[in-house]
Structure 1
Amino acid sequence: MGVTTAAVRRPELPGLLPASLAGSSAGAARRSGRDWFVDVLCFLIAASFVVNYGFEMISGADPVPDAMMVADIAAGVLATIGLWWRRRWPVAFALALLPVGLYADTASGASLIAVFTVAVHRRAAIALGVGALHMLSCMPYLAIRPDPQLPYWTVLVIVWLVIAATVAWGMFVRARRQLILSLRDRAEQAEAEQELRVQQARQVERTRIAREMHDVLAHRISLLSLHAGALEFRPDAPSDEVAKAAGVIRSSAHQALHDLREVIGVLRDDPAADAPVPPQPTLDDLPALVDESRQAGMRIRLHDEVRREAEPPTSVGRSAYRVTQEALTNARKHAPGTAVEVTVGGGPGDGLTVEVRNPWPVGGPSGIPGAGTGLVGLAERVQLAGGRLAHGRTPDGSFRVHAWLPWPA
């Protein structure tokens, strides 16, 4: 490689090769603005070697044969022009400069840039191999054209250090770029995972709200069915009772329509992230639920045996309310006219128990259609709350729904 003492006396050379000299990926067909800037800078650095060595050969004290001078300058010019294609073929370009470096001083700058480009764009083994070949090419060059001021081995070691520093710098730039890309990929992956977690959380919340509204909607529809059935089977009822039943039907239908709109809104593909959440029921809302069912004509007795040393957790109270609501809805649909017993008991440390019991209807359950998933969803709700749910026909001829929910002390 044609790096002579004059080149070694330029300690600022490595500092002039910024990390951007490697440009974008090797072989990129289209250069960005940054790539153009780097390529122009590399061209100017290599051209400065051609001008500097050419001027020294023309005006130097030691005469240089014209043919050798022309060949040297021509080789430097061609090597400098070839830098425009170093991105596409970095290894091939660096190897093509090996024979040029055996005699051409003017190609020294282009050779260093080529070695640096290989170190940036190729793995360490290839970069070290190319750097070693350029080191070996310096030995016959210095033997043919020795430096008149410094010993052979001194110049050789200096040139080797320059090439080694160039390779090490390129490998450092490559490692830094890989680290930045890795950190960027990790950041993008973490952002994508976070977005996925947010979407999953939104979906879970939408499903939970939809279940809540399903329970409420089923409760409203069962009230409508009960009152409409009463009007159908008692056409001779007093006008005030008919008006009262019609008012309840109208109110229940209005509420059912409102609940249905909310369910559809929740199940939209693009729900508003800041949409207000409907108020959730608690254990204190059980009396109102029972009164609403009584107004629909059900016979219900509520036994509140809860110890009120402290308020139960919100999720526990809401689950107890939903258990009672679903059990009353099933009693209205499948055992109309039967008396229902609702018992709520327990306290902090013992847990909260909810039991809804009604006699098994004569002739079996009514034929009112149902999805059959109410108790399944109820069992899942109770299980997610950390509790247990049991339901079925008892030996004494009743249908019983029993739930236990944890209530920490």
Structure 2
Amino acid sequence: MALNNLGNLLRDENKFEQAVECFKSAIKHQPKLLPVYNNLGSLYQNQGKFEEAHECFRSALKINPNFCIAHRQISISTKYSLKNKHFDEMKNKILEKNLSKDQIMDLSFALGKAFDDVKDYEKSFQFYLAGNKIKRESYEYSIEDDISYFQSIKNIFSSDFFKNIDDLGFKDSTPIFVLGMPRSGTSLVEQILSSHSDVYGAGELGDLSFLINKNFSSEGKINFSTLKIKDKINLKKIGSEYVSSIKRFSNNTKHITDKAINNFQFIGLIKLCLPNAKIIHCVRDSKDTCLSIFKNFFAGFIPYAYDLKEMGLYFNLYKDLMDHWNNVLPSFICNISYEDLVMDQKENTKKILNFCNLKWDDNCMQFHKNNRPIVTASLAQARRPIYKDSLKAWERYKSELKPLIEVLKL
């Protein structure tokens, strides 16, 4: 397991080729260790090497046919037809008795994807609903906690709070934050930006969250009530530590992107600590965003993602907070519509680059040829040229999405 753990650490540091070699070595030493096959397969998928990824997942299934995570992983980068053998394999597998809840969950997400591909949306939703239900039952979460938390952010970071802040923070302009809800186009925007010669795409980083928890955590929860605008030294220190930390990924590019989506909660603090940072906020139709979230199993813990009503309520909180940030910090944020980007890639790419003070780079129009690893649920989609399939996708599930639509503030 030591080599497997080292591989995970290297992957988290974006040292992908070294991580691949670690996982391969781990398999040589322990050829029946299933998590290693999953980790190596996932890493190949991140790199766009889908055939190699499927080979890893198939190897795991040969060792243990009940390792259903492998089915879910294969489904992520497969476009199914009715004649697809893996589709038939999964349909037979889920009928087996004595499957655990987790095995049913993994198969349900995979079959939801497969039935969506063949346009059987009723069956697709039944499987997605089953998978989400099992996942949601596995942890405790109350939307009321987030309601209180988001309100506290708005109360502290008021318009008055941002008066006379010109001399605050670390003035470095390296970071570009790409943020928004999951499945809102953040991976696409980061892929476009990282195709520019002056930008390194670092992906979803935990560096800012680490520093926030280090400085503003109380009883395991983030609490900004201790934040003092007069504490210039600490605000500058947080900004400096953040920039120093992300430069471990690339010390020779003008900008580094951070695509941690929850950073939208921290825009006020970013303004104080990193006033010259750029923030790209990705906006997508609320129903399409939430449906796309519901259709995905996330590696990280996203507690609101597996229940339609909770997801709708959380989306309302997110939108309300982003309206607040746009009101109190209007020139600090560039709002990019996913729909506008898909309909007019060039014009909206210009908008992004101009906001980031970057010259035009033709490579940004060929973002799908960028071979950087993509460590998100969009690992397959972001390697395709701009496509319009996902616009108004929610209409295919209109009746099934009633619990969501009823709570969304449209």
Assess same fold via TM > 0.5: no
TM-score (norm 1): 0.20
Q: Highest relative contact order (Cα 8 Å, sep 6+), 1 or 2?
A: 2
Return the index of the structure with the highest Cα Rg.
1
